[in-house]
Amino acid sequence: MFGLRLNHAVDSSALEQVEIGIRQHFALGADDIVLVSERRGWLPGFPDLETQILFWQGQTSEQQSARYKLRLFKPAAEVTIQDFPVSWLLPAFIDDGDPDCC
């Protein structure tokens, strides 16, 4: 079995609230996949916990879905709708498989 080893308790209701917020904010359909997770920061100057969001949007018969990756520098329990980027900025968050630059 593969998975992340977490050294903290995960608030599943907070992760679910972030997922609901992302679905509403970006008008994602019920068939669009949204993954929300928390992970510990390990770099100096970064918060202890950060929220990572991956989602796929736009799966149709003639168009392949796009994958997006968001990283919010706070625990999921503290994330609000104001933390989500504006919709027109979404193309900047396409996850094309390149490793993070920073």
Q: Which domains does the chain have, with CATH numbers?
A: 12-93 (3.30.160)
Encode pLDDT of 47-63 as tens digits: 889 999 999 987 655 55
11 Rama class: left (phi>0) / alpha (psi -120 to 50) / beta: beta
User: Minimal CA–CA distance to 73: which of 100, 99, 40?
Assistant: 40
Instruction: Give the Cα separation of 71 and 48 in Å (integer).
Output: 13
How far from the centroid of its chain's Cα atoms is residue 35's Cα?
Answer: 6
Give the separation between CA 102 and CA 25, rounded to whole angstroms.
27
Q: Quick one: average pLDDT of 12-22?
A: 94
pTM of the predicted structure, to 2 decimals: 0.78
pLDDT for 36-47, tens place per residue? 999 887 788 888
The answer to whether the beta carbons of residues 65 and 56 sit under 8 Å apart is yes
